[in-house]
Structure 1
Amino acid sequence: MEIYNTLTRKLESIERKDEIRMYVCGITAYDYSHIGHARSAVFFDTFRRFLEFLGYRVIYVQNFTDVDDKIIKRAVKEGKTQKEIAEKYIAEYMKDVQELNVRRATYHPKVTDHIPDIIDFVGRLLEMGHAYEVDGDIYFHVPSFSHYGELSKQSLEELNRHRIEPDERKKDVKDFALWKAAKDEDILAKAVFDSPWGKGRPGWHIECSVMAAKYLGVPFDIHGGGKDLIFPHHENERAQSYALYGVEPVRIWVHNDFVMIRGEKMSKSLGNIVKIRDILKRYSGEVLRYFLLTAHYRSPLDYSEEAIERAKKAYEYLRTALLNVDMEIAYLKTFGDRESKVEVAEVEKYMKDFVDAMEHDLNTPRAIAILHTTANFANKVVYTASLSQLEEIFSTFKTMSGILGIFEKWKRVPELGNEDKNRIIEREKARTKRNFDLADRIRDEFTEKGIILIDTPKGTRWRWK
C-alpha cells in the first residue's frame, strides 16, 4: 500500500509487518465538534479499517487536548473548571462520531493524565540545551534544531513572521512554549499543575510528543491530522521529539484537507461553522460518513445542502441494492435454490479493483464508484443468480462497505420457517384470486412479528420492519 507522506511530498509504501502504530491528533475540547473534525475522524478510521483488512494489527491512538487557552477562556466565562468544560465536549464528540461509525481508538489519552510525563520530557530538553526558562515559562529554542521547517516546507522568512504577539523574552522569534507559567485565568479555571519551574500548564505541542512516545514508542509509523496542523503544531512536535530522541520520530505524516462551505473555509468570523450534531438532526450518521468519503482526503471537500442530498440518494441506492440481494437470499433459503442463469466471476474483479483503489493513497472516491458498480451488477442479476452466487455478491458488497464504514449494523433478512412459508403461499394464492382482505390480514400478521412483506414482479419478498 502507498500513502502520501507530507514530509517527503511523495507516495511511500507502508512497510510490510505485523503491526502499524498510528497517532492522530484529536480535538481541543472547548465546543461542539464540526464537520472538519468529522472528516478527519472518518478518514483515519477508514485508513485504520483498511490496514486491518490488509492484515495489520493497528495500535491506534487519538488524544484529547483537555487543557488549553480556549478551554480555559470558556471555563472562566461560564464559571466552570477546565475539567468540567473538557469532559463535557469530549463526551459530546464521542457521541457524535459514534453516530458516524467511528470506532474507539486503542487509546484515548488526555493531556491532564500525563502531566508528570510532560514535565520529564521538558526537563530533558532543558538538560540537552534545546530549551530555556524565562520567568517560569519554558521555550523550545528552534535554532538548536537544524531540521526545523522541513515538514511545513516554509522558508526562513515565513517562519520568522509573528503568529502571535511578539515576546521580547524569547531568544528567537520562532521559539515556542513547552510549559506556561500560571496566569490568573488558569488559576480561576483550576488549570494549574506543580512543576520544578513553578505552577503552570503544558504548551500545546508538547502533549502530542509525550503521549505518542508513551503509547507507541519512537519512531512510530503514521502520524495523522488535519492539514491545518502541519504548522505550527506538527512542525513543533517533530522538532521537540527529534531533538530529544535523535531520530526522525514519525515514518509517515498524513494530513487530510479542509471541509469548505460553498468554496470558503469554515471559520467563526464568517459564521459558517457546521456542527456534526446539527447535520445529524436531518441526516443519518452513515449518510454523513458516506459524504465525507466522496472526495479524496488530500482534496478540499465542499459542503452544501445540495451536496449532502446527492450523497443521501447515492447512499440509499447502495442500501437498496444490498437489501434486494439479502431479501432474495432469504427467499431462496426459504423456498429453495434455482439454477443460475448468469456468470458472476466479475465480482472478484470488483473486489480487486476496490482494493487497488484503496491501496493507492486511499482513493475513496474511486472505491465508492466501484461499490456502485457492484450495486448495479447486483440489481441486474438479483433474480437470476443462484443462492451461492448471491451470497458471494452480498459478502463482497459487505466487505467493501465495511472498509468504508457503512452498513455496519446490518441485520440479515431472515429465512422463514414452514408456518410462515405456508402463509406466504396462501397470501400469493389470495392475491391471485383478488382476495385482498385475506392478503392484507396475512400481511398484518407479519407486520406484528416485525417483518414487512414486499410485493415484487417476482412474487413476495420480505425484510425487517
Structure 2
Amino acid sequence: MSVVLYNTLSRRKEPFQPLEAGTAKIYCCGVTVYDYCHLGHARCYVVWDTVRRYLQWRGYDVHYVQNFTDIDDKILNRARKEGTTMEAISQRFIDAYHEDMARLNIQAADEYTYATHTIDGIKRLIGELENKGYAYAAGGDVYYKVRKFDGYGKLSGRKLEDMQAGASGRVAGGDAIKEYPFDFALWKGAKPEEPSWDSPWGAGRPGWHIECSAMVRDRMGDTIDIHMGGGDLTFPHHENEIAQSEAATGHPLSQYWMHNGMVNVNGEKMSKSLGNFTTIRQLLDAEDGLDPMALRLFLSQAQYRKPVDFTADAIASATKSWQTLKDGLLFGHNYGPQLNWPDSDVTLNPENDAVQRFQIAMDDDFNTPEAVAVLFELAKELRRQGNLLVHEGSIDADSEGLQQQWHTLICLAQVLGIEATADNIAVQHDGPSDDEIAGLIEQRLAAKKGKDFALADKIRDDLTAQGITLIDKPGGVTEWHR
C-alpha cells in the first residue's frame, strides 16, 4: 500500500509518486522573522515534521528545505522601533525559532535558505519573467502580469474576473502604476533608510512571493515533490509562486501541494487585536506551563487539514492524555529491571497488529488521530500492567510480549515526534529519598492512630504531588511507589 495524500491543487487524495522513486523533495514555507513563534506556527511545523518523519519511516530519502523570510516590512518596522538593524532583528528571531522548535521535538531542516542570501537568484528569475513578457517595470518597481498566466487561480480556485468584480473598484492609490489591479510586485524600488540591492531595474528589494520561487529553484531545481505550508498561504502566496515559477521554467513547481488548517482560540481566530495571541514560549514557560509533548500531542489529535480550537478544556485533556502516554513510554525504564528484561534492542515487527493499523492510518493522508489512538491502546495496557506490578507484585501478561509492546509504542510514538526524554525519566525519581518517604509514612500512621486525619491526608497529598503513591493494605501496612 502506498502513501496517499490530499493535493490542494487537484482537490482530492492522490497516491504519492515522487519524481524519483524512493526520494521526496520537500519545501516548507518558513516564518517571517520579526517576532516569536505563536501557536499557529507550532501547528504548522508539528504537522510538517510529522509528515517528514513518517515518509522517512516508510523508507523515503527525504530532502527537506525550509526558508526564512529575513527581509520584510514587518522586520523593518520592528528594527526602526527598536533602533536596530534588520539583520539584528532577523537573527534574534531565527535563533528563537530554533529554540522553540527544538522544545517541540521538531527536527531541523536538511537545509535552511534565506531570502537575503538568494538575491542573485531572485534577480535572475525576474529577468527571465521580464524577457518572456510576464513582468514589467513601473515607477521603480517590477510587477507580474497575472492575466498573462493562463493557469492563475488553479491552486486556490479563484478566478480573476470574480476577484475584480468583488473588489468593487477598491484599488489603493499606489496601485495606479499597475497595468492591472491584481498584478503583484516582484521587485520594490528602494526607499530611504531601507536595505536595498542593485538591480537592472534600480536599487530595491524583492517582493515576498518571488523569494520562495527563487529559493526552491536554487536549492531543489524546477520541480519538487511536495510544497507545504499553512492554509493561509494558499492565496495569494502559493498561487503567485506557481505563476512565477511555471511561467519562467515551463514546468510544474510542485507535484503536490499540502496545507494545514489554522488555530482558533476559544472558537475565534487567533490575533493580537482580540487579545488571544499566544506565543509558544508564553505557553510553555508560564508558571503552570504546558509540557511541550502535551502540546505536540494536542496538535496531533486533530486531522492536519482541519482547524483546531485551542481551549482550556482541550489543553487539560491533552495534558491528561500525555500523562497516560508518558506512563506507557516510561514503562520499560520503570519496570524493565523488575521484569528482568534484557538490555538488547527489540526489532519492530511489521506484522504486528498495532504497527499495521498505525501504518494504515498514516498512509491515509497522515491520519494522526487514528495513529494516536493506536498509541493509546498500547500505553493503557502498559500502564495497567504497571499498576498490577505495584499493587500485586506481578503481571498477567507474557513478559517478552510486553517488552515487544513497549518497544512498539516507543517506535511508533517517535514517528509522531512524541517522546519521553531522559528529563521525564529523571523526574520520575526526583523528590524525597526512600528513607524520607518511610519516615513520612510513619508520621502518617501515627496521625491516623491519633485520629488526626487532616494531617494524615496532607502527608498523603504532599507525597502524591511529588509523584509518590501510597497504597494502604490490611494490617496497617502501607506500601508506596514513585
Smaller-chain TM-score bracket: 0.7 to 0.9
Q: Residues 33 and 94 of structure 2 are in contact (CA less than 8 Å); yes or no, is this contact kept in structure 1?
A: yes
**What are structure 1's unaligned runs of at least 5 residues?**
337-344, 415-423, 438-451
Call closer, same or farther: CA 1:456–1:102 in 2, change over 3 Å: farther
1:52 aligned counterpart, secondary structure: helix
Q: 1:346/1:19 Cα in 2 relative to 1: closer, same or farther (>3 Å)?
A: closer
CA shift in 2, pair 1:279/1:150, >3 Å: same
371, 395, 415: which is aligned to 1:403? 415
Residue 38 of structure 1 aligns with which residue?
Answer: 42
Aligned counterpart in structure 2 of residue 149 of structure 1, from 150, 153, 165: 153
Alignment of 1:155-170 (within 5 A): 155-160=159-164, 161=166, 165-166=172-173, 167-170=175-178
**How far apart, CA to CA, are the structure 1 residues paired with 2:361 and 2:471?**
36
User: Do the aligned residues in 2 keep the contact of 1:327 with 1:461 (CA within 8 Å)?
Assistant: no
Identity rate, percent: 40
Match of 1:140 among 144, 152, 177: 144
Which sections of structure 2, spanning at least 5 residues, go unmatched?
344-348, 387-394, 427-433, 444-466
Distance in 2 of aligned mates of 1:454 and 1:394: 23
Match of 2:254 in 1: 250
> What SS does the corresponding residue of 2:6 show, helix, strand or coil?
strand
Displacement of 1:436 in angstroms is 7.5
Offset, 1:104: 0.4
Partner residue in 2 for 1:418: none
**Preserved contact between residue 29 and residue 86 of structure 1 (Cα < 8 Å):** yes
Paired residues of 1:4 and 1:361 also in contact (CA < 8 A): yes
The answer to which of 268-277 and 92-101 deviates more is: 268-277
* Inter-partner Cα distance in structure 2 for 1:346 and 1:251: 30
Return closer, same or farther for 1:235/1:413 CA change in 2, 3 Å cut-off. Answer: closer
Deviations along 1:369-400, whole A, 9 cap, x unmatched?
11111112323455233442222111100111
- Residue 320 of structure 1 and its aligned partner are, at CA, apart by 1.2
| TM value normalised by structure 1 | 0.84
Q: 1: CA distance between counterparts of 2:331 and 2:270?
A: 39
Looking at structure 2, the residues matched to 105 and 89 of structure 1 have their Cα atoms a distance apart, in angstroms, of 17
Contact 1:347–1:374 (8 Å) recurs in 2: no
Query: Residue 9 of structure 1: which of 2, 8, 11 is its match?
Result: 11
Contact 1:347/1:396, CA 8 A, preserved across alignment: no
**Alignment of 1:391 onto 2:393:** no
Judged with a 3 Å threshold, the aligned counterparts in structure 2 of structure 1 residues 101 and 346 are, in CA distance, closer, same or farther, namely: closer
Which residue identity is paired with 1:290?
Answer: L
Partner Cα separation in structure 2 for residue 335 and residue 85 of structure 1: 51
Structure 1 residues 279 and 50: alpha-carbon distance in aligned structure 2, compared to 1, 3 A threshold: same
1:286 partner letter: M
**1:135-284 matched pairs, under 5 angstroms:** 135-160=139-164, 161=166, 165-166=172-173, 167-184=175-192, 188-189=193-194, 191-281=195-285, 282-284=289-291
Cα deviation 1:55-80 (Å, max 9, x = unaligned): 00110011000001111111122222
CA 1:409–1:379 in 2, change beyond 3 Å: closer, same or farther?
closer
Q: Structure 1 CA distance, aligned partners of 2:382 and 2:45?
A: 31
Matched, 1:304 2:306: no
Deviation at 1:413, TM superposition (A): 7.6
* 1:340 corresponds to: none
Select 2:362's aligned residue among 358, 365, 373.
358
Q: CA deviation at 1:411?
A: 7.7
1:70 maps onto 2:74 in alignment: yes
Cα distance in 2 for residues equivalent to 1:54 and 1:263: 36
User: What is the deviation of 1:263?
Assistant: 0.9
- Any idea what SS the aligned residue of 2:137 has? strand
Superposition pairs of residues 326-345 of structure 1, within 5 angstroms: 326-333=333-340
Q: Distance in 2 between matches of 1:84 and 1:230?
A: 30
Mapped contact 1:131–1:138 kept (Cα < 8 A) = yes
Residues 287-342 of structure 1, C-alpha deviations (whole Å, 9 max, x = no match): 11111111111111000122111100100111112323442222122799xxxxxx
**What is the alpha-carbon distance in structure 1 between the residues aligned to residue 222 and residue 336 of structure 2?**
50
Q: Which residue of 1 aligns with 2:326?
A: 319
Matching residue of 2:451: none
Aligned partners of 1:329 and 1:390 also within 8 Å: no
What is the deviation of 1:208? Answer: 0.5
Counterpart Cα distance in 2 of 1:389 and 1:133: 70
Q: Name the structure 2 match of 1:440.
A: none
Query: How far apart are the structure 2 equivalents of 1:119 and 1:455?
Result: 70
Quick one: distance in 1 between partners of 2:63 and 2:404?
A: 31
Offset of residue 412 of structure 1: 10
Question: Is residue 453–residue 460 contact of structure 1 (8 Å, CA) maintained in 2?
Answer: no
Q: CA deviation at 1:403?
A: 0.9
Does residue 128 of structure 1 match 2:132? yes
Q: Residue 461 of structure 1: CA displacement?
A: 10
Amino acid at match of 2:383: N
* 3-state SS of paired residue (2:112): coil
The farther-off stretch of 304-313 and 403-412 is 403-412
Structure 1 residue 462, shift from structure 2 partner? 8.1
> What amino acid sits opposite 2:4 in the alignment?
E
- 2:295 corresponding residue in structure 1: 288
**1:26-75 alpha-carbon deviations (Å, 9 max, x no partner):** 11111111100110010000000000000001100110000011111111
Match of 1:113 among 100, 112, 117: 117
Which whole-Å CA distance do the structure 2 matches of 1:212 and 1:379 have between them? 46
User: 3-state DSSP class of the match of 1:11?
Assistant: strand
Residue 47 in structure 1 maps to residue 46 in structure 2: no
CA pair 211-346 structure 1, distance change in 2 beyond 3 A: closer
Contact 2:328 2:406 (C-alpha < 8 Å) held by counterparts:
no
Q: Name the structure 1 match of 2:453.
A: none
- Helix, strand or coil: the match of 1:108? strand
Letter in 1 for 2:154: E
Q: Is 1:18 matched with 2:22?
A: yes
Normalization by structure 2: what TM-score? 0.81
CA distance in 1, matches of 2:205, 2:302: 39
Alignment partners' CA distance in 2, 1:320 and 1:379: 6
Q: Which amino acid aligns with 2:411?
A: T
Q: C-alpha separation between the residues in 1 aligned to 2:273 and 2:469? A: 51
Cα pair 1:326 1:412 within 8 Å, conserved: no
Contact 1:325 1:390 in 2 (8 A): no
What is the DSSP-based 3-state SS (H/G/I as helix, E as strand, rest coil) of the residue aligned with 1:331? coil
- Residue 378 (structure 1) aligned to one of 358, 372, 382: 382
Q: Any conservation in 1 of the 2:263–2:310 contact (CA below 8 Å)? A: yes
SS at match of 2:177: coil
